[in-house]
Amino acid sequence: MLEDAVRDGYTLSTDRGRLDRALLHGFLREAYWSRGIPRAVLERAIDHSLCFGLYRGAQQVGFARVVTDQATFAYLADVFVLEAHRGRGLATWMVERILAHEALQGLRRFLLATRDAHAVYRRCGFAALSSPDRLMEILRPHAYETPP
């Protein structure tokens, strides 16, 4: 997807210059998966990811980013649609368009983590891990908290 995708007055774009970074930080610092994320950390994450902004006119109303080597692996992160724009199938459409992006074709593994949006991702082809015993993690749930 080099060109913007358009649906029902919404535009999905990979144009990094359009991103409303203040809006992104405002949302993501409150989201359960990134609570307290410092602006500088988010800026670094954006700068080193393939980013997708969802817009209604000039206003950004959604976002997603993909951490990837664009050859073998991708991790979908920070997917959201602002509450006022939910219920229109935009998250599913956004993920479908992301999965169709030319830089993300032929990957061996595409991962994501979610607490409550399993149905959205299932509609796009994601499933529970086939071999959860093979994956490991280092989890630092309090990484963004300042020590007392």
Q: How many structural domains compose the chain?
A: 1
Cβ-contact 39, 25 below 8 angstroms: yes
Strand partners, 140: none
Q: Is residue 146 in a domain?
A: no
The predicted pLDDT at position 3 comes to: 76
Q: What is the pLDDT along the chain (148 residues), one digit of tens a residue?
A: 457 999 999 999 999 999 999 999 999 999 999 999 999 999 999 999 999 999 999 999 999 999 999 999 999 999 999 999 999 999 999 999 999 999 999 999 999 999 999 999 999 999 999 999 999 999 999 999 877 6
Q: Is residue 74 in a domain?
A: yes
The predicted pLDDT at position 111 comes to: 98
User: Rounded CA gap, 17 and 29, in Å?
Assistant: 21
Q: Is residue 98 in a domain?
A: yes
Q: Is residue 144 in a domain?
A: no
- The domain in which residue 109 lies consists of 5-134
CATH of the domain at 94: 3.40.630.30
User: What is the CA 16 to chain-centroid distance, rounded?
Assistant: 14
Cβ-contact 39, 45 below 8 angstroms: no
The predicted pLDDT at position 146 comes to: 77
